[in-house]
Amino acid sequence: MLLNNPNKLDALIVQNGNAYLEGLTLPRQAFFKAANEDKSQAQSDKIYSFTSNKAIINKQYLRDVQSNPEVMSPDSWTHDLHFLQTKSDRVIQVQLLQDYYNNLLDYPKWQAYLRKYQPATLIVWVKTTLRYSRRR
């Protein structure tokens, strides 16, 4: 773990990453907390449904562009779905979502590390405003 070996890091490259609660909406924080605390079969099944092809495409990639979905390249979800082809692949994603709340709890430790060691960092944060056009 990086916090146990802080001098092992040369640099960070961060893409659309987050290390502050302010970067997550309250409903998103509540989702991660509930996913972590409620490991019932019903909750696991609900989270599992979020890993379906339809959910990945519509709730992850097209959620914010419903009125203009052509701005999003299908390559985005095609690449993700390649890694969610089997039930075991999808179960791994469920486990990641169930565990993600622990990241929120560790944000203060990460922030302290960043303040103390100030590693060289490249941060890429993209607001989706690019237009994608399909060639016909």
pTM (2 decimals)? 0.80
pLDDT recorded at residue 88: 97
- In tens digits, what is the pLDDT along the chain, a chain of 136 residues? 788 998 899 999 988 788 999 989 999 999 999 999 999 999 999 999 999 999 999 998 898 888 888 888 899 899 999 999 999 999 999 999 999 999 999 999 999 999 999 999 998 877 655 554 554 4
54 located within any domain: yes
20 located within any domain: yes
131 located within any domain: no
Torsion angle, CA of 73/91/93/86, rounded to 10 degrees? -30
Euclidean distance between CA atoms 16 and 71, whole angstroms: 19
How many domains, in total, are found in the chain?
1
133 located within any domain: no
For 18-65, the DSSP string reads --SGGGS-HHHHHHHHHHHH---HHHHHHHHHTTSHHHIIIIIISGGG
Identify the sign of the CA torsion 122, 127, 129, 135. positive
134 located within any domain: no
Return the structure tokens found at 79: 């690449």
130 located within any domain: no
Euclidean distance between CA atoms 59 and 39, whole angstroms: 22
132 located within any domain: no
User: Domain span at residue 26?
Assistant: 2-124
pLDDT recorded at residue 131: 52
- Picking from 104, 128, 105, the residue whose alpha carbon sits closest to that of residue 18 is 104
62 located within any domain: yes
